[in-house]
Amino acid sequence: MPTNRERIEEWSLAYYLLRFYQNIMFRFYFKTEIVGLEKLSPNTTYIFAPNHQNALIDALAMLTLNHRWQPVFLARADIFKKPLVSKILTFLKIMPVYRIRDGYENLSLNDRIFLKTMDIIRNRNGLVILPEGNHDGHKRLRVLKKGIARIAFQTEDAANGELNIHIVPVGLEYSNYVRYRSRLLIRIGDPFPVKKYLELYRQNKAQAYNALIAELSDRMKQEMIHIDTEEFYDEYMLLLDLYPKQIIKEKNLSKTQNQLFYVRKKIISALDTLEQKNLTGFQKLMKQAKDLGEVLSKYKIKPKALKLEPVKVLNLLWILPLLIILSSFALYGFINHLIPIVFPFLLSKKFEDVQFHSSVRHAASLLLILIFYPVQVLVVGIASESTSLSLLYFISLPLSAVILYCWRKYFYKAMEITRVAKILINQPKEAKRINTLYNNIMAVTIETD
């Protein structure tokens, strides 16, 4: 297996096995839907360019595209400073890119990195570059760095245009960056050739960089949720939670993640158009959305709970008995997963950047489950002196984890319904205010045709 950077483009059995395990666990963490794989030809050379909102998880998401695929990633060089970390990252097929902030004297090291990218691209492993440079937890594409253009042009030019490199815009859309069993939509955009700008690159590198980056930026925005406004970002996000439910129901649309994506894109476009054509109406809608968002935050009510109706409280009649029935199984699951659950959670809290939380929890759980499952099964087998009992115990571990997840899900649902019930009973005026704001917002027609 390749253990150094000089052989990073080679296929690795150890990496394949680790990745196979990681992909299984990743699909448990995120409900993943992939759209557009048919656009990729096995005989074409690709550089993938996904948006970057969720730290390491964005890179792991790219690994789900093909189970045999072993792409190489480029990352900022400062994370390679420690030798052990550098070896681990190299095994994980991650290479450094040096920036001016890493020291001007280190920029020359990029020459070897760029030469290595030629081996990677020629080998058709796939190269993944996150062109925003760093992550940010907002649904907005930021200004792209020019590194991806430099690498693409330098490699294509060195091969005299014969590699026919295509850049693939990729959109990653998370329903929640951290929460377990959140939804993830991966959208593969239409690949476009680097060669179309190659002559321009040979005449004027700066213009070629700008042209390629501009096209890539436009194509990436098509494949992701992009909210351009900063002033009304929170209000847009709230409306993207409220309107789709009504639109999908009224138009009898499918409930896939991709369908939800299209509806949200149209809502953003409609809101932008409303601002241009009817500024007064737009500002009124934003004010109502802001007021509603503040009151929902105050009472810890999620938008999906709207509107507040007594009939919804009746759901407690089946949720509470279900929680009671599942409680003993959930407790069994929690005890048997105590360390893989608690330790990653506590470890993630040491990171102030929330976008690192899912990365830390996922990575730590991968390692801990791999360690503790065999140890626990072995202990049960030795203690019981029964192979069949230890096998039964092994089967019960993932099943109890699923039951624990379901119990937790309905526990939080019961808590939210309880908060709704308290408002309806103890603060009817506030409940009426929330429903009035909701009704006023929903009365504003958003054209999505």
**Range in 29-33, 75-79, 262-266 the model is least confident about:** 75-79
d(CA 166, CA 397): 44
445 or 23: whose pLDDT is higher? 23
2 or 82: whose pLDDT is higher? 82
Give residue-wise pLDDT tens across range 188-198. 999 999 999 99
Looking at the predicted structure, is the pLDDT value of residue 278 above 60? yes
Average pLDDT over residues 412-426: 96
Give residue-wise pLDDT tens across range 214-225. 999 999 999 999
**Cβ 219 vs Cβ 203: under 8 Å:** no
Position 107 scores a pLDDT of 66
Give residue-wise pLDDT tens across range 345-381. 999 988 888 888 898 898 889 899 999 999 999 999 9
**Cβ 49 vs Cβ 220: under 8 Å:** yes
pLDDT band (50, 70, 90) for residue 34: very high
Cα dihedral: 372, 377, 380, 385 (round 10): -150
Position 3 scores a pLDDT of 44
CA nearest to 262, candidates 225, 214, 296: 225
d(CA 46, CA 147): 16
397-408 burial string, b = 16+ CB within 10 Å, else e?
beebbebbebbb
CA atoms within 13 A on the CB side of 433: 13
Position 447 scores a pLDDT of 67
Tokens 């409303």 sit on residue:
274
Give residue-wise pLDDT tens across range 373-384. 999 999 999 999
d(CA 115, CA 50): 23
99 or 291: whose pLDDT is higher? 291
Neighbouring C-beta atoms of residue 118, cutoff 10 Å: 17
Position 2 scores a pLDDT of 41
Give residue-wise pLDDT tens across range 292-349. 999 999 999 999 999 999 999 999 999 999 999 999 999 999 999 999 999 999 999 8
**Range in 89-98, 182-191, 234-243, 260-269 the model is least confident about:** 89-98
Q: What is the mean pLDDT of the chain?
A: 90
**Cβ 261 vs Cβ 187: under 8 Å:** yes
What's 128's DSSP letter?
A: E
Looking at the predicted structure, is the pLDDT value of residue 13 above 50? yes
pLDDT band (50, 70, 90) for residue 1: very low
